[in-house]
Amino acid sequence: MNFSSNEKNKNLNRKNSSSKTNPSNNKAVVLLSGGLDSTTCLYQAIEDGKEIQALSFDYGQRHKIELSYAKKVTRKLGIPHTIQKLKPELFLGSSLTQKSLQVPKNSLRKEEIPNTYVPGRNILFLSFAVSLAEGTGSDSIYIGVNSMDYSGYPDCRPEFIRMFEMAIQLGTKKGSQGPSIKILTPLQNLSKKEIVLLGNRLKVPFHLTFSCYDPKNGKACGKCDACLLRKKGFQETGVSEK
């Protein structure tokens, strides 16, 4: 992995923050959307001393602009980055993939799972990550899910992650012959405020992240849940996005 000299020096000076995100092997796959959470997760993996392969997906999402930010960050860091293209037809029933459905605006209080939930998305993303991790000899996968925000997406819950880890152990050569691939979720119990604070400590370039479900002409709408949560996190911390 070829970091720039400045980034390399910064990374060498960082210390591992938690045994929970530091398994034995130093190789890891990081699921990277280009948003605030996944980019903070990427920088946590760097602090943990990982040799990283970043993995992103183009699945016809209306906020595909995030991928350009993922590219900018990985280029800045000199990290290998794969963007896997998937057919949009695999992801029906979500306002993030179907223009006929409206993205909810101006409200964070939800009784039900919002229509921004993409059926099976994290199941597929993690499956691709497992294949890449096993093929590259990586012992861990980082994913920026967090269950403390309003949404409560089923595939972001700790129970889902635990069950998926069991599937990895039972369904892979690596899992059947030795230590299995771990799914690391350093943001799992953090609020958006706490994620911003963590990102600030890790020197995340917030200006190279993008969080909006319904961008127009390359700009965030400012009204969707992703925009409101991001704004709330920065307002509560006083940290600058620039």
40 is in an annotated binding site: yes
139 is in an annotated binding site: no
Which region holds residue 52: left if phi is over 0, alpha if psi is between -120 and 50, else beta? Answer: beta
151 is in an annotated binding site: no
- State the number of CA atoms in the 13 A half-sphere of 60 facing the CB: 15
What are the domain boundaries of the chain? 5-237
Amino acid at 30: V
36 is in an annotated binding site: yes
152 is in an annotated binding site: no
Q: 5-237 has which CATH code?
A: 3.40.50.620
39 is in an annotated binding site: yes
34 is in an annotated binding site: yes
CA-to-CA distance for 62 and 168, rounded, in angstroms?
A: 31
224 is in an annotated binding site: yes
pLDDT at 197: 98
156 is in an annotated binding site: no
Which pTM does this prediction carry? 0.87
Residues 6+ apart with CB under 8 A from 103: 62, 95, 96, 115, 116, 213, 214, 221, 224
Residues 6+ apart with CB under 8 A from 8: none
Which region holds residue 229: left if phi is over 0, alpha if psi is between -120 and 50, else beta? Answer: alpha
pLDDT digits (tens, 9 = 90+) for 186-241: 999 999 999 999 999 999 999 999 999 999 999 999 999 999 999 999 999 999 99
pLDDT digits (tens), the chain, 242 positions: 444 434 443 443 333 333 344 445 699 999 999 999 999 999 999 999 999 999 999 999 999 999 999 999 999 999 999 999 999 999 999 999 999 999 999 877 666 888 999 999 999 999 999 999 999 999 999 999 987 665 678 999 999 999 999 999 999 999 999 899 999 999 999 999 999 999 999 999 999 999 999 999 999 999 999 999 999 999 999 999 98
136 is in an annotated binding site: no
